């Protein structure tokens, strides 16, 4: 079974506040049709690079290809009401090199609107994932960090230690183990890039 965990990109795709919205203009031709697309680097399902939070950090084309593919675990965190803490994660078996995808209430309600009260990761949860040696993290919200938190601490902890996919849709995915593949656009010099991501049953 193959699950598409990418958000659909269209004019109605919701963006994180103050981020560019998607614009698609069709340009019909006599022998072929093309489209002009305007899109933000953090639209829909996307990857963050260190440049997102650090003006001197590496850009998206320098992310490790190894982090885009491998054994993945979808963890059930749907009982978390506000945030994910280290205590919430300690009950799961997380091994070095794992790709960890966090399924929360974010996936259960839909992605048709932007919800400021999305479930987010706390600082201690982020450090726990680093300590466990996670190579890639996927979250079902447009940001891993609390909305209007006033800092970039969680982003910094995560992005300095692993690849981060945000905006994944786990609404139709049962918890369990999968093979993950997620390929962001190879945008030279950019702070992030939209991605297509899938899970394949093992």
Q: What is the pLDDT of residues 150-188, one digit of tens each?
A: 889 999 999 999 999 999 999 999 999 999 999 999 999
CA distance 181 to 122: 26
CA 121, distance to chain mean position in Å, is 12
Break the chain into its structural domains and give their ranges: 2-6+41-201
pTM greater than 0.75: yes
- Top CATH class, 2-6+41-201: alpha beta
pLDDT of residue 167: 97
CA distance 195 to 78: 24
pLDDT of residue 110: 84
**Which residue(s) pair with 120 in the sheet?**
83
């Amino acid at each position: 079974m193959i699950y598409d965990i990418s958000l659909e990109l269209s004019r109605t795709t919701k963006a994180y506040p103050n981020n560019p919205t998607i614009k698609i203009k069709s340009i019909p031709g006599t022998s072929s049709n093309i489209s002009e697309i305007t899109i933000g680097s953090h639209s829909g399902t996307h990857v963050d690079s260190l440049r997102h939070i650090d003006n001197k950090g590496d850009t998206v084309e320098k992310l490790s290809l190894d982090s885009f593919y491998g054994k993945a675990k979808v963890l059930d965190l749907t009982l978390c009401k506000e945030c994910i803490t280290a205590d919430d994660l300690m009950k799961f078996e997380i091994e070095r090199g794992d790709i960890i995808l966090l399924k929360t209430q974010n996936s259960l309600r839909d992605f048709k609107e932007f919800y400021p009260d999305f479930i987010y990761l706390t600082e201690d949860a982020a450090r726990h994932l680093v300590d466990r040696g996670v190579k890639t993290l996927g979250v079902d919200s447009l940001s891993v960090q609390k909305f209007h938190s006033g800092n970039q601490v969680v982003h910094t902890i995560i992005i300095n230690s692993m690849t981060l996919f945000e905006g994944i849709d786990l609404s139709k995915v049962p918890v369990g183990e999968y093979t993950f593949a997620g390929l962001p656009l190879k945008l030279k010099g950019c702070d992030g890039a939209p991605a297509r991501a899938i899970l394949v049953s093992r």
